[in-house]
Chains A and B, each alone.
Chain A
Amino acid sequence: MKIMQKWIMAFILAALSITCLPHLINAEEQALDLQAIINEARTGSTIILPHGIYEGPILIEKTIHLKPRSGEEVAILNTSNQPAILIMADDVALTGLIIKDEQLKKQPTVLIQGDGVLLDQLHIHTGSFGIQMRKANHGQIQNTSIAWAGHVPERPVKLSDKGNGIDLYESNDNTFIGNTITSMHDGIYMENSDNNLIEENHFELLRYGVHCMYTKGTVIRNNVGNLNITGAMIMAARDVEVSNNTFTKQSENVNSQGILLFDAHGTSIVNNHVEGNRVGLYVEQSTMNHIKGNTMTANFIGIQLLDAENNAINSNQFIGNVASAEARNSVHNQLEGNYWDSFQGIDLDGDGRSEISYAINPFFQSLIKAKPGFQLFFQSPGMVFLEGLYQSQRQLWSVDASPLMEPSDQVRFIVPTQTLKHSAAVGAGLLSLAIYLIYLGVKRR
């Protein structure tokens, strides 16, 4: 412990000299930094760091636990183009550190290559990838924030400048809970990585909140996504669970949607709330998925099915969407018992379900596939009229055989409910002005 203190004292002195004379740092002085403390520490020990700014890059090759002294702020500053922290050992734990790594570079800010690594309450400011996991299994990242902090000189930042918040490759059985990822490329990107659990995270201003590529067994639960291009992008995936998530306001980009399934099979999309997106749920070339109990409200398009077959779509609610559903070339889907507010059914036997089925007209989607320029006519009066005229090959349409007559439970809307007072005030003004004008008009002089 004495040695520890000595090192820490030395470090504080070094830190002081660094802050005072930033231009005079050389390799020898850097040797007196956190790296040296770690090198000195015994495997399995816990290193408690006092307040200060520590210089990166850091290499961790043995099992240690790094955390700040209670209540103190410890920051790791990396200006090299190496990872700020590279973890090669198993069961390493990092707690409560602030990591500033704002250089634009290829290397991630934190690179994990060991199993069972725990990252807790980190604050990562990155100009690259936040955390990369390579063949890292059974790890846990929780309560951590990752935000883009890179600065590109002389031009606006492009999406391709940014790295992913958390990026997995061949890393299985990891858990991500309670993290907040903002303004990065993808929030959590998983490739060739199975059985990862993503729970209660917050994704904002990203390209894709969660992005699965060639994965199976991923669980995405209770997350919140807001203002991303797409909330959950489930691509080339098997057995994914997406449940109880909330994705809102993903409507800015011409390609945005709440949840997208592409080449996804056997996934379950359950009890999600998808509000105010361009497309709530976008399903393309996907089969055998269970889409149940979701609420799609106030999206431009509630659900869009393209070449999607054999999916079960039940007990969902489509309320306040500009177009409830669009479909093209999607057959053998089992649609039943959904509530479509744009559809007026008739319930003759009083079981709460309409005896008339709700058929999704494929005209618009087929038209814009061939001629994208006509997308301008989306839900225009003439297009609605034209869709009504188009009835060919009805047997190939996606059809809800027994739509619900009433929404199944109280619909919640998340978008801020201000009062209607202001529009009422404007309305009252208009009304009195109008009546006054009418009075002037009819008054005989």
Chain B
Amino acid sequence: MRMKTINVMMLVMLVLLLTSACGAKEYKPQAINEETDKCVICNMAVKDDPYATQLITTDGQSLKFDDIGCMNEWKVQNGTETVGAEFVRDHSSGDWIKYEKAYYAYDAAYVTPMAYGVIAFEDKASAQSYIDQQGMGQLLSADELASHKWEVNRDMMDMETMEMHNESMHSDESKEEMEMGHESEGQNS
């Protein structure tokens, strides 16, 4: 019995040694598994779509989020000391890109899973062209995103007061516009 325990210990040590040997830290994003991944912050299932984001902690744990806003919320709650790398996905290709290198389009009326309205792009041009195509929104670099206010398009905390504001301000026109799109296409056929 004692021999077995020693063997086990040695095996564990070996595995440990191996991992620490090849411990040159390079963080790689994991693929989204729709069957098991849930947003660490909001508990929703993370879908394998471009809204998904991922944060790898310094000890290698991959935390997944369904919306960039949730990842920001995690950093607010837990600080950034343990953050190894952050990844977002390009809205058109779905490729994982580094958070710092991406460009962002924001508009309160963009529909994202948790309604933060921020969408990531690989480069400035594609972000700009998305904004142009939508006819609304603003372009943000990762640095500018750091000072972003992260409001959801309907703030529940002061819902009673915000409601009027919300409906009269941004969301209305933009939604209208999208629907107009459907409508005209609908009539064409």
Interface residues of A (CB under 8 A from B): 57, 59, 80, 82-83, 86, 88, 107, 111, 113, 134-135, 158-160, 169-170, 191-192, 207, 213-214, 216, 229, 233, 235-238, 253-255, 260, 262-263, 265, 282, 284
Contact = CB atoms under 8 A, between A and B. Distances in A.
Contact of B175 (A135, A160, A238, A284): A135
B182 A86 contact: yes
A59 B188 CA distance: 10
Contact of A262 (B43, B152, B186): B43
A305 to B, nearest CB: 14
6 contacts: A82-B186, A86-B186, A158-B34, A170-B167, A192-B115, A265-B156
Contacts of B159: 216, 238
Nearest to A83: B186
Nearest to B167: A170
Interface string B146-189: 00000011101001000000110001000100010011011101
Nearest to B176: A135
A150 B156 CA distance: 35
Contact of A134 (B42, B167, B175): B175
B44 interface: yes
Nearest to A237: B156
Contacts of A235: 42-44
B24 to A, nearest CB: 23
A160 B185 CA distance: 24
A160 B156 contact: no
Nearest to A306: B43
Nearest 9 pairs of A and B residues by beta carbon: A160-B47, A214-B154, A255-B38, A86-B186, A159-B34, A160-B49, A192-B154, A254-B36, A262-B43
Contact of B182 (A107, A191, A284): A107
Nearest to A160: B47
B45 to A, nearest CB: 6
Given A111-B182, A134-B175, A59 B47 contact: no
B35 interface: yes
- The range of chain B's interface size is 20 to 34
Contact of A253 (B35, B49, B154, B171): B35
Contacts of B35: 253-254
A139 B49 CA distance: 31
Interface of B: 34-36, 38, 42-45, 47-49, 111, 114-115, 152-154, 156, 159, 166-167, 171, 175, 179, 182-183, 185-187, 189
Contacts of B111: 169
Contact of A238 (B156, B171, B183): B156
A83 B115 contact: no
A170 B43 contact: no
Contacts of A253: 35-36
A265 B175 CA distance: 28
A80 B186 CA distance: 10
Nearest to B33: A254
Contact of A214 (B36, B48, B152): B152
A107 B187 CA distance: 14
Given A158-B48, A229-B45, A83 B182 contact: yes
Considering residues A192, A233, A237, which has the most beta carbons from chain B within 10 angstroms of its beta carbon?
Answer: A192
A111 B182 CA distance: 10
B134 to A, nearest CB: 15
A57 B38 contact: no
A207 B115 CA distance: 19
B87 to A, nearest CB: 18
Contacts of A159: 34, 45, 47
Nearest to A108: B182
A134 B179 contact: yes
Contact of A57 (B34, B45, B171, B186): B186
Contact of A170 (B175, B183, B189): B175
A262 B42 contact: yes
Contacts of A57: 186, 189
Contacts of B36: 253-255
A312 B35 CA distance: 33
Given A57-B186, A86-B186, A214-B115, A169 B175 contact: yes
Nearest to A58: B186
Contacts of B34: 158-160
Residue of B42, B152, B186, B187 contacting most chain A CB atoms (<10 Å): B186
A218 to B, nearest CB: 13
Contacts of B45: 159, 207, 229, 255
Given A134-B179, A213-B115, A235-B43, 18 more contacts: A57-B186, A59-B187, A82-B182, A83-B182, A107-B182, A113-B183, A169-B175, A170-B167, A192-B153, A192-B154, A214-B156, A216-B159, A235-B42, A236-B156, A238-B156, A255-B36, A282-B43, A284-B43
A135 B44 CA distance: 25
A111 B183 CA distance: 10
B115 A191 contact: yes
Contacts of B49: 160
B171 A170 contact: yes
Nearest to B154: A214
Contacts of B187: 59
A86 B188 CA distance: 13
Contacts of B189: 57, 80, 82
Contacts of B47: 158-160
Contacts of B152: 214, 236
Contacts of A160: 34, 47-49
B168 to A, nearest CB: 12
